Amino acid sequence: MRLLGLDPGLRNTGWGIIEVRDNRLSHVAHGIVRADPKVELAARLVEIYDGLADVIARWRPQEAAVEETFVNKNAVSTLKLGQARGIALLAPSRAGLAVFEYPPNLVKKTVVGTGHAAKEQVQAMVRVLLPGAGEVATDSADALAVAVCHAHHRATGDRVARAVALAAQAGR
């Protein structure tokens, strides 16, 4: 299964594509959708949407995972970031993908082992978990980490669903 991870931002929206086969993860592609900070907010949101739509059309993921927004001390910044996050939810949804959301601390805990890991630790673990990725910019590393988090939690959810179904059949 091919998964898309997204790390939304108003200037840089990181994206990462991984392939999941059995218990193996492999790097497919990653990059950043850049929005021009000199243009009005609405135009930046269009740039983000168009860039993500291109990524989805090119790489054809089957599911998407988006990092949830953390609350800044600056409420205006948080609201603006929320708008970029809305586009990150909209683009894959409009393409027909199931979209999942993960809080930043869960992503870090899944990938690094601690929910308060530094960005450099996330980058380092992404290189370990996805050796084909090579050097990865912070925004792309975060997006790949979201995809890895989804792969792990998706697999757990699938195992639980199978166990529940087996228990229900046994109880008949």
- Spell out the residues 6+ positions from residue 54 whose beta carbon is closer than 8 angstroms to its own: none
User: Is residue 137 helix, strand or coil?
Assistant: coil
Cβ neighbour number for residue 168 with a 10 Å cutoff: 9
Q: Which of 22, 139, 142, 158 is catalytic?
A: 139
Q: Which of 47, 63, 67, 142 is catalytic?
A: 67
Query: Exactly one of 7, 47, 63, 142 is catalytic; which is it?
Result: 7
Q: Any catalytic annotation for residue 142?
A: no
Residue 22 designated active-site: no
Three-class DSSP labels, 92-119: HHHCCCEEEEECHHHHHHHHCCCCCCCH
Which residues have C-beta within 8 Å of that of residue 145, sequence separation ≥ 6?
5, 16, 107, 108, 110, 111, 122, 125, 126
- Asked if 40 is an active-site residue, the reply is no
Q: Chain centroid to CA 83: how far? A: 16
User: Which residues are known to be catalytic?
Assistant: 7, 67, 139
